[in-house]
Amino acid sequence: MPLRPWSPIPIRDCAEPLLELPSALFRLEPHPYAALGAPYGANGSPFRLRSGVIARLLRAQDWLQQHDDQGYRLAVFDAWRPLAVQQFMVSHTIACECHQRGLDPHQPSAERDAVVQEVGRFWAPPSEDPATPPPHSTGAAVDLTLADATGAVVAMGSEIDAIGAVSEPDYYLRCADQLPEGDQRQQALRWHQHRALLASAMASAGFSQHPNEWWHFSYGDQLWAWRSGKPRACYGRWISAVT
């Protein structure tokens, strides 16, 4: 299977506006990429999504409040990204992964190529081709987790943006199946249950989940169309001239 099998799906943008998230949706701040210096620009708030996506996020939160007795709520980590931010974060992530492995990110090598390939499973290339926009550039994709009533993030077993198999939605279910009864197995199951609760809330509002990322969901983009069997996407890359 190709790395992004959803890329050939055609896009017919419905021209919905990109709006700021309402106060009813909890934000994790300070925003992590902005804090790194990612180039959003003066008016480039990362906490924006297409209007129809925001409406569905609110529906997902309503479902969560009706089906969870822990008082959890959605906690938005990241939403819209301009291409410049996508490029910045891809380069930043490759550099971080290389440094962790003792590699020079600027020196070509087979080991560096392997890092780039692995990072590519989680970070879409900052394509300027309107037929293959990065999901977050469309205003259709959101990275999020769960938080409790105090705003504390619920344990999911890995950080958002972690590179590797640990980020796959069912990773801890597979781990639990291989562990004997005991504390480690119970912890793995708790982490899986938290991920599954988030996924259920988002699915209730029509979102599709990225196959490699427990935190990434979208509605209306190419990934969503591919996972839901739709013939086309209804959100392409957001361009400010679109109204």
* The one catalytic residue among 16, 97, 168, 213: 213
SS3 content of the chain, % helix, strand, coil (to 5): 40, 10, 50
Residue 212: CB atoms within 10 A of its CB come to: 15
Q: What would you report as the CA-atom Rg of the chain, rounded to the nearest whole angstrom?
A: 18
**Residue 213 annotated in active site:** yes
In angstroms, the CA 11 to CA 107 distance is: 37
DSSP 22-47: PTTSEE-SS-HHHHHT----TT--SS
Whether the Cβ atoms of residue 173 and residue 190 lie closer than 8 Å to each other: no
Q: Annotated active-site positions, please?
A: 213
